[in-house]
Amino acid sequence: MPDSDLAEYQRALKLWERMQAMEMDALQQSNLLRRIGDGCLEIIERKNDPEVCRKAIDAYEKALQFYAADRYPAVRARVLRGLGSAYSSLADLAERQGSLAKAISCWEEALGFFEASSFPEDHARIQNELCEAYRKLAELERRRDNAMRAVEAALAALNIYSPKDQPLDYAAAKANLAGAYLILAQAAGYAADQADSCRRAMAACREAIAAYAPDRYPARYAAVKNNLAIAYLALSQVEGREENCRNALSACRDGLACISREEQPLAYAALNNSLGNAYLALAEEAEAREDLEIEEAGPGMGPERGGAKREGRTGGEDFLELCRLALEAYSLAAGIYSRDEHPWLYATAQNNLSSVYIALGRREDCAANSIKAVKAAGQALSFFTLNNSPQDYAEAQMNLWMAHLVLADIEYREENCSAALDAAKERLKATLEFGQPLQLAGCYKDLAITACILADLETSPEVKGEDCRTAIDAALEALRIYRVQSHPAEYAETQTLLWAAYSALAEVAGALENCKRAIYACWAAIRVYEKISPAEKAYAQKNLSHSFIALAQMENLAENYHNAIEACQSALEYYTVERGPLEHAGVLRVLAYAYAGLSQSEEEDRKEGLMKALKTYKKALRIYQDVEKEMTARGDPGAHEMQEMAEMCRRSLQSCKGMLRARRKG
C-alpha cells in the first residue's frame, strides 16, 4: 500500500475519533466505534503498531457492550472477528500469550454465528485465523494440544475450500495446515511421530505450492518454500540428517530466487533464517564426523587430550565455511528485522546469531566470538521472557550458558562460571514449562556440569558444598529420565558427573560417606561403558582409582589401595603408550602413588611397594621427557606443561627414594 493510502486511513481515523465528541445515540456511537476499529485494522495491516492495536481493541470492546448477541447477532459476530484480529496483531508485538488467548476466544464466539452451512466463506477464513493463533499459542503452552487444535482448524477450512473452485484459498489453508503439522512435529515424544508430522507438513506444502506460480505469487511461493525447508530441517533431526538439510537448502534457494529484499523483506528474512539453520546443521554434522574420526583414532575423552584433539581435527575448512555461510544468512535476516516493529522476529534472529557465534568460536577467535554470542543472546533476552516465550527464552539462556563456559576457560573463570550457572538454572525453569523428558534431562545434566566446574573453583567450604549439592540434585533428576536400557551413554555420562560431584563434596563434608557414593556412581558408569565405549571405560577406571585412593586414607588401607591398583591396571589396557602416551603417563602416576600408599600397610611388603612405585614413576618420567622434546622441536607451547609434569615425577621419585632410605635406616 502506498504511503499516501496509509496517510489517508490515518486522517480518516483522526476524523472518526473527533466525531466521538458529537452528540449521538448509543447505536450511532457503537457504529462509530466499530468504524474506528475497522480503520485501525486497515492501518495495522500495512504497519503494525501496538498503540493502534490497543486503540482498535478499546473501540471494539466498547462497541460490544451495545451489540448484544440476541439483538445484533450479525454485527456482534463481525465486531468479534475484528477484535480477534486486533488481539492477534498485538500478540506479534507484546503480551503474546494473553493476546492470543483472547483472539481465539473472540473467533470461537464469532463462529457461533458464522456457521459453515450459512456463511461458508467467513467460517473458513475464521478457521484459518484460528489455525494460525493456535499454532502460535502452541509455542508458548500445551504444545501438543494447541497444535492439534491448529490442525483441526485448518482441516475445517479445507472442508469448505475446493482446489478447483477456490485454488488460492485452498492453497492458503494447506500452507496453514503445514505450519500446524510442523508444531506437532516439535511436540512429538517419539522419532516416528516427529517424522510422520514432518511428512504430512511436506505433503501439505507441495499441494499449496502447486497453486502459487512464482512469477505471479512470489511472496506466497516463498513462504511455502520456507515451510518446506523447516519441515526438512525438522525431519533431519530424526533421520537422513545431511540429505534433509541439503533438501532444506534447496527449498530456501528456490524461495529466494523469486523474491527480493526490497519488495518482500519479511519473506526474504524468513528464508535467510531457514538457510542459516540449514548451514549450521550441516556444519554441526561435519564437526561430529570429524570428532568421531578423532575418537576412533585416539584414546578417549580424558582432559589431557583436549588440546591434542583440537589440533588434530581435519577438514576444519569445511566446518568453518558452513558456519560463515550460516552467519552471512543470519546477518541478512537480522538486518531486516526492527526491534520496534518486529520484536519477536528480531529476537529470534539474535538467538540464531548467538548460536553461530558459539559454533565459530570452537574453531577460531574463541574469545571474540564468545563475547559476540553473549551480546546476541542478551539482545534476544531483552525481548524473550520466561512468560512470553519459554522455548525461545530457554534457547537464549542455553547460548548464554555455552558462551560463558567457553569464556571461563579464557578469562575471569569464576565470574563466567557463575554466569553460566545462572543461565543453566534459567534455562531449566523455562524447559520445565514446555520440554519433553529428554530435553529436561539435558538441562539437568548441563546444570550438574556447571555446578561441578564452579565447585572446583570455590575456596569457601560452605559455598563449595552448596555447589556440589546443586550438581548432585541435578544429576539425580537427570537419572530419573536417563535409564540405562534406553539411554545408556547419557546414563553413564550422568553417573560420571555424579562421581565428580560426590568426590568434590567429600573434600568438605561427609568424606567417608560421599567417597563411597562416588565409587558407586563410577561403578555404574563403568558397567555401561564396558558394553559401549572402551575409551570411556578406561577414563572411568582412572576416576575410580582416585576414589579408592581417597577411601584408602580413611579405612581399609590395603584393600582400597589394591582396588586402586586394579583400576589403574584396567585403564592401562586401553591407555597404551602407542595409543596415547600422555594418558598412559597420567595413569602411571596414579598407579605409582597407589603402590607408594600400599607400602604404608603393615600387611604388605613395604620395600616391594616402594620399588614398584619408583619403577612406575620412572616410566612416566621418560614419557613426559620424550613428549617434551617432540613439542619443543616443533615449537609447541605445550612443552612447558610437559616440563612441569616431568618435574612432578622427579619430586615423587625423590620422595620414594627418601622413604626407602628411611626404611633401610630403620
pLDDT tens digits along 100-125: 999 999 999 999 998 988 899 999 99
Nearest to 587 by CA among 597, 573, 603: 573
Q: Give the cell for residue 580.
A: 596415547
Q: How far apart are CA 490 and CA 483, in angstroms?
A: 8
Q: How far apart are CA 303 and CA 587, in angstroms?
A: 12
Q: What is the mean pLDDT of residues 495-516?
A: 97
Q: Picking from 244-248, 297-301, 644-648, which range would have the lowest pLDDT averaged per residue?
A: 297-301
Give yes or no for residue 304 having a pLDDT over 60: no
Q: How far apart are CA 518 and CA 501, in angstroms?
A: 8
CB atoms within 10 A of CB 480: 11
- How does pLDDT run across 568-584, given as a tens digit for each residue? 999 999 999 999 999 99
Average pLDDT of the chain is 89
Burial class (CB within 10 angstroms; exposed 0-12, middle 13-18, buried 19+) of 601: middle
- How does pLDDT run across 50-90, given as a tens digit for each residue? 888 888 888 888 888 888 888 888 888 998 999 999 999 88
Q: What is the mean pLDDT of residues 471-496?
A: 96
| Residue 306, pLDDT score | 41
Of residues 306 and 486, the one with the higher pLDDT is: 486
3-state helix, strand, coil in the chain (%, to 5): 80, 0, 20
Q: Give the cell for residue 164.
A: 478447483
Q: Picking from 22-36, 55-69, 151-165, 225-239, which range would have the lowest pLDDT averaged per residue?
A: 22-36
* Overall pTM surpassing 0.85 (yes/no): no
| Residue 104, pLDDT score | 94
Q: How far apart are CA 62 and CA 163, in angstroms?
A: 40
| Residue 6, pLDDT score | 56
| Residue 13, pLDDT score | 57
Of residues 171 and 29, the one with the higher pLDDT is: 171
Q: What is the mean pLDDT of residues 606-617?
A: 90
Give yes or no for residue 38 having a pLDDT over 50: yes
371 CA to centre of own chain: 18
- How does pLDDT run across 192-228, given as a tens digit for each residue? 888 999 999 999 999 999 889 888 999 999 999 999 9
Residue 485 three-state SS: coil
Q: How far is CA 230 from CA 90, 178, 390, 396, 557, in A?
A: 25, 10, 20, 20, 61
Q: Picking from 69-73, 466-470, 477-481, 579-583, which range would have the lowest pLDDT averaged per residue?
A: 69-73
- Full set of structural domains in the chain with CATH: 3-207 (1.25.40.10), 212-294+315-336 (no CATH), 537-549+557-666 (1.25.40.10)
Q: Picking from 10-19, 370-379, 383-392, 507-516, which range would have the lowest pLDDT averaged per residue?
A: 10-19
Q: What percent of the chain lies above the pLDDT cut of 90?
A: 65
